Structures are given as C-alpha cells and as structure tokens.
Structure 1
Amino acid sequence: MKFIEEVVVEEFLPTFRAMMAGELRDRDRTQSEVAELLGISQSAVSKYAHGEVETNDAIATDDRVVELVDRLADGLVSGDMTRVQALVETEVLIRKLERGDLLARLHEESFPPLADHEGALDIHDPESELRTAERVRSSVRRGVRTLENISGFAALIPAVGSNLVEALPEAETIDDVAAVPGRILDIKGQATVPGDPEFGVSEHVASVLLAARDAGHDARAALNVRYDEDLVEKLEAAGYEAVEFDAEADVETAVADALAADTDADVLYQTGGFGIEPVCYILGADASAVVGTVRDIV
C-alpha cells in the first residue's frame, strides 16, 4: 500500500523545490535568501543547485508546475506574495494534480491496484478560506505598492489618513476586510505605509464599504481620499458616478439612502460635519480597480 502523500513527498517536493531554488537564484537571491524563502537549509539549497537531488521529469515539464514556479518566484522576490500564500497556492496545485491528474497517474504507477478503481479519490477542497484570505491580502498589498508610486497621490490623503481596503467575498464584519494597519499617511509629500495588510484593522473605511455592500453595491474594495468640490468634479468628468451621504447620520443608514438612487455609484462622499473631516470614498471591484480610479484623477 502506498499513499499519494508519499508520491508528493518523494516525487513532487524534491522536483518543485529544485525548480523554485533555481528560479530564485536566477532572480539574484543568495543561497541564504533562497533557504529562508523556501524554509529549508542552505545545504539543501546547495544540493538542489548542483543537481544532487533526483527529480521527476514528468513533474518538471508540466506546464502548470512551470507556470506556478515562475509566478511564485516573482511574487516572493517582489514581496507581493507572502510565504503563506505561496504555500497555499502550491497546496492547491497539488490537490488538483491528485484528482485524476499527474500525481494520480504517478500514484497508480507506484501502486497498480489503484488503476482498477473507478470513481474519484479526491477528498480535498482547493477553495479554502485561507487561500481566499491570502489572495485578498495580496491584492491590497499590490494596490498599496502602486499607490506609493503614483505621483500626486500623497496630496489626496486626508488629515485622518487614507486606507485601502478589500473584503472577502462573503464579508459581514470588519474582521472580514483586509486593510493597512494604522492608515496611509502623507509624510512630507510621500505616501507612507506603516505595515503589511491585515484583517480587522480598519474600522471606518471598512464600515463604509460594508454599508455599501449591505445596500446592494457589489464593490469589494474602497479607498478614502480628501474631499473638495474640484475633486468630485474631476471624478465625474472622468466618467465616475458620485453620490453624497450625510456624515453625521448612522453610516449604514446614510450610505443606504445615498445609494438608493444610484446603487452602482463609483464614489461616495460627505462634506463634513461637527468634528468630522469631509472625505471621498472610492469604490471598486478590487484594490486594483480602486487604484485605477486614483490614476485617472491625479
């Protein structure tokens, strides 16, 4: 009896790690950096680099494996992908290859009685909550990196700071919304990000996004920027629909009332109130879409 997990350990992992080590080295990562990114020893990296580990040609030449290795290497080197997400994406591919695919065929070769089995053997769910959460965090991370490099964005940051947020598909509370901890601030004309995106760290912008979704809007992401009449006019001139809501009313009620006439509005704004700074909230399908709106107005 041989389990498919043994095929993964004995065939897939040595091949995959050898490929990852090679791609990371090709991207000018040092041996110690490769070891840290892959969670293995430097001596293991050295063995992979010198071809001292036996690999499986069927796995090494599979287009899906090659594409994943290339994508993970790019993401890990750029910082757009965490090691957690890289692990999850790899696990998802493994699960797919186990379902009547490459790893299943290798499993049958190593344990012939499986060839006589009829029906699926898959017991894994590739659409895990962890995978979805990591993708949302990655989306916010990429969006924030882009915002940092947009000339003129810092001037749009309100006194209270900006935040770029993105919600999980079935988000219900702020704990289901990823955002920048501590908000994005304008420090001497430069947009400054205090930390990596996390879930549950944005109360205000996340609340506005959730209120819009509760009112029927299909937005998954939002960004708050300063308000002034000229900015709203610029947004509308660029083809975006903007609606006003009452800053001093309950946020859920105010946003629902504002969206009642235009459920698909791209921008929500409020003109301030007692102790409340006027702010615009840009809505979008994801963080990238929201950042795209910013590009259109700076």
Structure 2
Amino acid sequence: MHFIEELVVDEFLPTFRSLLAEQLREQGLTQSEVADLLGISQSAVSKYVHGEVGRNERLVADERVRELVDRLADGLADGSMTTTEALVEAEVCIRELEEGGTLSDLHAEAVPDLDDYGADFAVHDPDSRLREAGRVRASVRQGLRILENTGGFAPLIPAVGSNLVEALPDAERIEDVAAVPGRLLDVGGQTTVPGEPEFGVSQHVANVLLAARAAGSDRRAALNVAYSEETVETLESAGLTVVEFDAEVDLEDGIAAALETNPNADVLYQTGAMGIEPIVYILGPDAVTVAERLRTIA
C-alpha cells in the first residue's frame, strides 16, 4: 500500500524545504536563522541550498507551491509571520494538493487502481475551521501589507482610525471576524499597524460587515476610510456599487434598509450625525481585494 502521506514526506517536504531555505538565504538570513525557522539543522539547510536534496519538478512547477514559498519567505524574513502561522499555511496547501492537486495526481499514478475504485484522495478535511481561520488571517496580513505600501492611504484614515477585517464563511459574531488589534493609525504620514491579525478584536468595522452580511451581502471583508464626496465619486467611477445608509438609526436597521435593493453593494457610506464621524466602508470578498480597491482612491 502506498499512502498519500508518504508522498508528502518523500516528495513535498524535501521540495518545499529546499525552495523555502533557498529563498530565505537569498533574503539575507544566515544558515543558523533559516535552520531555526524551519526547525532543521544547519547542515540540512546547506544541503537544501546547494541542491544536494532532490526536488520533485512537478511540485517545483506547481503555482500553489511557488506562491506559498514566496509568501512564507517574505513573511518569515520580515517577521510579519510566525512559524506557527507559516505551518498552518503549509498544511492548508498540502491538503489542497491532496484534493485534486499535484499530490493527488502523483498518488493516482502511484496507485492506479484507485481510479477504478473511485476513492476520494482527500483523506484530510482542507476546510476545517482551524485551517479556514489560518487562511483568513493570512488574507488580512497580505491586505495590510498592501495598505502599508500604499502611500496615499494614511491621509484617508479617519479620526477614529481604520481597520481591515475579514470574516469566516459562516461568521455570525465579532469572534468570527479577524482584524488588527486596536486601529490602523496615521503617524507622521505613515500607516501604523499595531499588531498581528486576531479574531474578535474589531468592534465597529466588524459590526458593519456582520450587519451587511445579515442583510444579505456575501462580502467577507471590509475597510473603513474617511468620508468625502470625492472619495465616494471615485469609487463609483471605478465601477463599484455605492450605497448610502443612515447613521442616525440603529446600525443593523440602517444597513438593512440601504441594502434592501442592493444586497451586494461594494461600498457603504454615511455622512455623519451628532457625535458620529462620516465614514466610507469598502467591502469585498476578501481583505486583499478590499485593499486593492482602496488603491483606486489613494
């Protein structure tokens, strides 16, 4: 019997570690630092970097593997990703490759009788809540990098601060929404991110997103920026569906009324009320898309 887990150990891990070690060294990390991050010996790092460990060329050419290695190398090198978060993302990729991906193909070739049997090669659940949470945090983290590198974003941060949030697919509570603890702030013209994405740390922006979803929207991410007529007009000119809601009524009621005819609006905004700052909320399927939409006005 040839289990798919054997392919993970014999083919995926040597290829993945070799590519990641190589990228980390290219980013200036020492062999010792790479060894600590990957949990392997320095001699193993040397073998990986110098091509002394065989790679599976089909996995090397796999777009998901290459994107994973690039993302993890960047995150681990600049400290924006922990080794635990990197592990979760790698596990997610493995399960996806087992389910109709390169590992599934390799397994089918190794055990051709499975094709006739019609078995499902995905022996692990790639959509578990833990892995989905890891994907959401990774998406928020990537979105934050886009915002940090968007020079025109800081001036758009409102007085109350901004937050970038993304919800789990079945989100119903604030605890199901990942965001930055605290707020994104404009400090001397630079966007300041106070910490790593966590669940349950956003109140206002998370509630706006949850209210939109309760009203029928399928959007899973949101970002708030300062209101101006120019901002709203620019977003609308970019082809986004823009809807105004009433800030003077209950949040859920106001958003539900606004989305009654446009449940999947891309932008929600309110022009303020007594003690309420006018705000624009950019919505999207994920945090990365929302951050990219922000660039249309920054």
Is TM > 0.5 for Structure 1 vs Structure 2? yes
Find the counterpart in structure 1 of residue 56 from structure 2: 60
Offset from partner CA, 1:198-253 (integer Å, 9 cap, x none): 22111110110111111112211111111233433343344433332222322111
Find the counterpart in structure 1 of residue 215 from structure 2: 215
Bigger shift: residues 242-251 or 141-150:
242-251
1:64-213 paired onto structure 2 within 5 Å: 66-79=62-75, 82-93=85-96, 95-96=98-99, 101-103=105-107, 105-106=109-110, 118-120=117-119, 122=121, 123-213=123-213
Contact 2:174–2:203 (8 Å) recurs in 1: yes
Contact 2:89–2:135 (8 Å) recurs in 1: no
Bigger shift: residues 122-131 or 97-106:
97-106
Q: Following the alignment from structure 1 to structure 2, what is the Cα–Cα distance between the partners of residues 69 and 98? A: 10
Find the counterpart in structure 2 of residue 264 from structure 1: 264
Contact 1:100–1:120 (8 Å) recurs in 2: no
1:278 matched to 2:282: no
Q: Following the alignment from structure 1 to structure 2, what is the Cα–Cα distance between the partners of residues 9 and 277? A: 55
Classify the secondary structure of the residue corresponding to 1:296.
coil
Q: Following the alignment from structure 2 to structure 1, what is the Cα–Cα distance between the partners of residues 201 and 170? A: 18
Identical columns (%): 59
Contact 2:223–2:283 (8 Å) recurs in 1: yes
Q: Following the alignment from structure 1 to structure 2, what is the Cα–Cα distance between the partners of residues 224 and 115? A: 50
Classify the secondary structure of the residue corresponding to 2:263.
coil
Bigger shift: residues 1-10 or 245-254:
1-10
Q: Following the alignment from structure 2 to structure 1, what is the Cα–Cα distance between the partners of residues 107 and 58? A: 11
Structure 1 residues 41 and 211, CA gap change in structure 2 (3 angstroms): same
Q: Following the alignment from structure 1 to structure 2, what is the Cα–Cα distance between the partners of residues 139 and 116? A: 35
Q: Following the alignment from structure 1 to structure 2, what is the Cα–Cα distance between the partners of residues 36 and 68? A: 24
Offset from partner CA, 1:135-189 (integer Å, 9 cap, x none): 2222221211111122221111111100111112222112221111111001111
Classify the secondary structure of the residue corresponding to 1:21.
helix
Q: Following the alignment from structure 2 to structure 1, what is the Cα–Cα distance between the partners of residues 232 and 2? A: 65
Structure 1 residues 285 and 149, CA gap change in structure 2 (3 angstroms): same
TM superposition shift of 1:85: 3.6
Q: Following the alignment from structure 1 to structure 2, what is the Cα–Cα distance between the partners of residues 101 and 230? A: 52
Classify the secondary structure of the residue corresponding to 2:171.
coil
Contact 1:269–1:280 (8 Å) recurs in 2: yes
- Total equivalences in the alignment: 289
Q: Following the alignment from structure 2 to structure 1, what is the Cα–Cα distance between the partners of residues 275 and 35? A: 52
Q: Following the alignment from structure 1 to structure 2, what is the Cα–Cα distance between the partners of residues 211 and 193? A: 25
Q: Following the alignment from structure 2 to structure 1, what is the Cα–Cα distance between the partners of residues 266 and 115? A: 56
Q: Structure 1: which amino acid aligns with 2:106?
A: L
Q: TM (normalized to structure 2)?
A: 0.82
Structure 1 residues 61 and 240, CA gap change in structure 2 (3 angstroms): closer
Q: Following the alignment from structure 1 to structure 2, what is the Cα–Cα distance between the partners of residues 143 and 150? A: 11
Q: Structure 2: which amino acid aligns with 1:101?
A: D
Find the counterpart in structure 2 of residue 32 from structure 1: 32
Q: Which runs of 5+ in 2 are unaligned?
A: none
TM superposition shift of 1:52: 5.7
Contact 2:184–2:192 (8 Å) recurs in 1: yes
Q: Following the alignment from structure 2 to structure 1, what is the Cα–Cα distance between the partners of residues 116 and 173? A: 45
TM superposition shift of 1:50: 5.0
Structure 1 residues 221 and 23, CA gap change in structure 2 (3 angstroms): same
Q: Structure 1: which amino acid aligns with 2:87?
A: V
- Which is higher, the Rg of structure 1 or of structure 2? 1
RMSD (CA atoms)? 3.1
Structure 1 residues 31 and 272, CA gap change in structure 2 (3 angstroms): same
